[in-house]
Chain A
Amino acid sequence: MNRFKLILFCFVFLVELKAQSFLTDSILSNSFEEYHFDKYKVRSVLNFKERSIWNKMNPFSYVSVGLMFVYQRFISQQLGSECAFETTCSEHAKRAMEHYGILKGSLIGFYQLQSCTAKTGYDYPNQSINNEGEIINPVELNED
Chain B
Amino acid sequence: MKWLITNLLVFICINVLVAQTKEVKNYENSMLKIEQKIFMSKNDTLKNEFYLKKFNSSLREKDFGRSYFELSRIRGRYFNDSIALQDFYWNAALISKLVNKLDYAETYYDAYIDLTQDSSINSQLLGLLINAELDSSSYNMFKKNLTLDTALNCLDCLSLIPYYRLKNKLGYIWASCLVPGLGTAFTGDVYNGLGSVMTIGSASYGVYYLFLNKLYLSTGIWGYLFIPRFYFGNIRMTKYRLEKLEEKRRAKLAITCELTTKKLLINYPIDFRLSE
Contacts and interface: CB of A to CB of B under 8 A. Distances in A.
Given A26-B98, A28-B258, A31-B133, A77 B269 contact: no
Given A23-B270, A24-B269, A75-B199, A80 B248 contact: no
Contacts of A54: none
A32 B58 CA distance: 24
Contacts of B62: 22-23, 26
Given A77-B192, A80-B234, A31 B271 contact: no
Contact of B161 (A35, A40, A81): A35
Interface string A26-52: 111011100111001000000000000
B7 to A, nearest CB: 44
B262 interface: yes
Contact of A78 (B129, B196, B253): B196
Contact of B262 (A23, A28, A35): A28
Given A30-B97, A35-B251, A79 B233 contact: yes
Nearest to B271: A23
Give the contact-size bracket for chain B.
Answer: 35 or more
Interface stretch (B20-28, B74-82, B206-214, B236-244): B236-244
A122 interface: no
Query: Is the contact region of chain A dominated by helix, strand, or loop, or is it mixed?
Result: helix
B204 interface: no
B33 interface: no
A22 B266 CA distance: 11
Nearest to B132: A31
A4 interface: no
A78 B98 contact: no
Contacts of B272: 23
B254 interface: yes
B223 interface: no
B73 interface: no
A124 interface: no
Given A24-B265, A24-B269, 8 more contacts: A20-B269, A28-B265, A32-B258, A78-B192, A78-B230, A78-B234, A79-B229, A80-B236
27 contacts: A20-B269, A24-B265, A26-B64, A27-B97, A27-B98, A28-B265, A30-B97, A31-B129, A31-B132, A31-B261, A32-B257, A32-B258, A35-B161, A35-B250, A35-B251, A35-B253, A35-B254, A37-B248, A75-B199, A77-B192, A77-B233, A78-B195, A78-B234, A79-B229, A79-B233, A80-B232, A81-B229
Interface of B: 62, 64, 97-98, 100, 129, 132-133, 158, 161, 192, 195-196, 199, 229-230, 232-234, 236-237, 240, 244, 247-248, 250-251, 253-254, 257-258, 261-262, 265-266, 269-272
Interface of A: 20, 22-24, 26-28, 30-32, 35-37, 40, 74-75, 77-81
